[in-house]
Structure 1
Amino acid sequence: MDEQTEELRDLFVETTGEETVTEDQSEDRGDLGDAVSAEEAEARVRELVGRMRERYEFQSGLDDGDLVRVVTGFHAGEGDAEIADALETDEGTVALARLDLHLVREGDREAPLSMDDLRELIVADVPLEERVDRLDADAEAVERYSRVIEAERRATRANHRFTDEFAELLTDADLRDSHAADARESGLEEAAEDIETNTQL
């Protein structure tokens, strides 16, 4: 399915509330409303990572298995340092990997320069060195926050489909496989079931 077809499908789903468009298109993206185990979710995350690698030029140098760990760690609430320790790499590599995968933290936007001005320069296709001059900012900072904005732009052009699918797969799997027992033991079973019912597609 090409990008335009996927965008039309997303619009159809939002407008009608129906998941089925054609058998081929539905099969390509999958019905994320279906219950999946943690193992199935991880396998589908790996498929999404592979699709992203085919579509984008990744910068981090991590392999697909490590990138899956970045995605799962991000959605488990781990910081870059924790993920880096698990992968025996450095935080900078993990941050690059997150941005490759369109996973932007709120802290990534906390810049010592105007992100709005930087975004305008990027949209205008102004070279990096000229961005540094125009913003009168540290070159390393401009490069770092340019990567954040570029990741956000890629995610927007993709209608956030990859980040949305990561979130839905891993949130659903984590709630079912990791937290359901704890919720029952703490007397929150009924509330959890209500939330699950309300969030089904």
Structure 2
Amino acid sequence: MNDKTEELRDIFTDVTDGEETVTESQENTRGSLERDERTTEERLESVVTQMRERYEFETSLSDDELISVAKAFYEGDSDSEIASDLGVDEDDIFEARMSLHLVSENDADEVDLAAIRDREEDDAVLADEYDVGEAQIRRYRRVAAAEDESRAANDRYRDEFDSVLGDSELSEQMTTDVREDGLEDATEGMETDVEF
């Protein structure tokens, strides 16, 4: 060692209180986001149970059937398809979805729910005004009530369903996209018109 190097070494040793090294061993730590260790079924069952305790469900469907309704809703199945799969009436599926706060864009796309939400007129008057049947007005009012109930809970339960069922679809889509992008990158520039 030359004099300069030895002098720097002495300064280093003084500054670090005689330690020969200042590096610290690194730990393998997990990310800051906590992962729910429960299965998808357990998480869905928890949401349905909480909702049953908080609200009076007007459905005869069991918790397992309600979970099936939620899954099918997120898969894009219609009420008639879900009803057919479960062997129940389509109106039962609609009521189950409303009880679970699973309102789709198509449930009231023909009417402004805010306009009928607080109207006190009976179904016949509103049906005549909107040129629809009374059953349709009752349906719209049920959708409005489900939205109000969901908002009163800060959309907590709908967010839970989104988290459980929406994330699984999103992660599947992201995995597929990554696979496709990786394959595209790997095959870029390769000749594909090869004759043997």
Contact 2:69–2:93 (Cα < 8 Å) also in 1: yes
Match of 2:176 in 1: 182
Q: Is the 8 A contact 1:35 1:172 kept in 2?
A: no
Distance in 2 between residues matched to 1:109 and 1:188, nearest whole Å: 42
Deviation per CA, 1:67-92: give whole Å up to 9, x if none: 00111111122222222222122322
Conserved in 1, the CA contact under 8 Å of 2:127 and 2:137? no
1:90 alignment partner in structure 2: 89
* Larger relative contact order (Cα-Cα within 8 Å, sequence gap ≥ 6): 1
Gaps of 5+ in 1: 1-32, 190-201
TM-score by structure 2 length? 0.65
* Shift of residue 156, structure 1, vs aligned partner: 0.5
Counterpart AA for 2:161: F
Cα offsets for 1:102-125 (capped at 9, x unmatched) = 0101111123x553331122xxxx
- Between the two proteins, the alignment pairs up a number of residues equal to 147
Fraction of identical pairs, as percent = 33
Contact 1:131-1:142 at 8 Å conserved across structures: no
Higher radius of gyration, 1 or 2: 2
The code of the aligned residue for 2:181 comes to: G
Q: Where do residues 36-55 of structure 1 align in structure 2 (5 Å cutoff)?
A: 40-55=39-54
Residues 133/91 of structure 1: CA separation in 2 closer, same or farther (3 Å cut)? closer
Q: State how far apart, in whole Å, the 2-side matches of 1:119 and 1:42 are.
A: 35
Q: Please report how far the alpha carbon of residue 173 of structure 1 lies from its aligned counterpart in structure 2 after TM superposition.
A: 2.6
How far apart are residue 146 of structure 1 and its match?
A: 0.7
Alignment-derived partner of residue 194 in structure 1: none
Task: Find the counterpart in structure 2 of residue 160 from structure 1.
Answer: 155
Say which SS state the counterpart of residue 186 (structure 1) adopts: helix
Alpha-carbon deviation of 1:180? Answer: 5.6
Q: 1:148 aligns with which of 143, 153, 156?
A: 143
Contact 2:98 2:146 in 1 (8 A): yes
Q: TM-score, normalised by structure 1?
A: 0.64
